[in-house]
Structure 1
Amino acid sequence: MQNTNPIPERLKAARKKAKITQKDLGVKIGMEPSSASGRMNHYEKGRHVPDISTLKRMAEELGVPLNYFFCEDQLSAELACVIEKMSEEEKKRLLFELARK
């Protein structure tokens, strides 16, 4: 288990997968264009941690669930994304199947 904050790594990975620049992401979530790149860089380097409302806007813009940013390993992060895309019925079936084991 890592003792480091997983947010910077997850943020950078999701942004790169979405093929968006730091500045563009910052602007899309409401940051001033002149400071967006620098602020996003600080988040990705772990110098600053975004507040929860900023993190929610980032998640929405990047198409990942909020809990993706808190996953400590890549497999858990990918699972969070897959589960988010499932219908409620699919989630219930999955939970039911796993509970039976």
Structure 2
Amino acid sequence: MSSSPTTPRSVFGARLRLARLATGLPQDKLGVKAGLDEGTASARISRYESGIHEPNVSFANRLADELGVPVAYFYAADDELAKLILWFGQLNMKQRKLLLDFASQLKPPS
């Protein structure tokens, strides 16, 4: 398994930070867009990114929607798996089917 992409205390926090930076959104703007109060948005996102707190799944889904990433990306401890999750989320349905068909041929025998 690959190491975490940065040094925050949680995989969730590291992935959230990477996704937020990739979009260029500041912490406060992301928080407000995801439904947090303007006065606490930056601090809450900062706590999530540093691993002090982790949002519930419902709020993690809102963050993922705002950042345009699959929510599973936040929880993938393996960097290569996280990259695949991001790519898979960007594919259209036809491309997903092709990839899944290809991957099924690579599956180790049971």
Stretches (4+) displaced over 4 A: none
User: Normalising to structure 1: TM-score of the pair?
Assistant: 0.90
Aligned to 1:10: 15
1:48-59 equivalences under 5 Å are 48-59=53-64
Match 1:41 to one of 41, 46, 54: 46
* Corresponding residue pairs, total: 101
1:18 and 1:73 map into 2 onto residues whose CA distance is 21
TM-superposed deviation, 1:77: 1.4
Residue aligned with 1:64, SS: coil
Unaligned runs of 5+ in 2: 4-8
1:5 and 1:44 map into 2 onto residues whose CA distance is 8
Which stretch shifts more, 91-100 or 55-64?
91-100
**Superposed CA RMSD:** 1.7
1:9-88 equivalences under 5 Å are 9-88=14-93
User: Normalising to structure 2: TM-score of the pair?
Assistant: 0.83
Residue aligned with 2:104, SS: helix
Aligned to 2:100: 95
Name the % identity.
Answer: 35
TM-superposed deviation, 1:98: 2.1
Task: Work out whether residues 27 and 42 of structure 2, in 8 Å CA contact, stay in contact via their aligned partners in 1.
Answer: yes
Unaligned runs of 5+ in 1: none
2:92 and 2:17 map into 1 onto residues whose CA distance is 27
TM-superposed deviation, 1:89: 2.0
1:98 and 1:40 map into 2 onto residues whose CA distance is 36
Which stretch shifts more, 61-70 or 80-89?
80-89
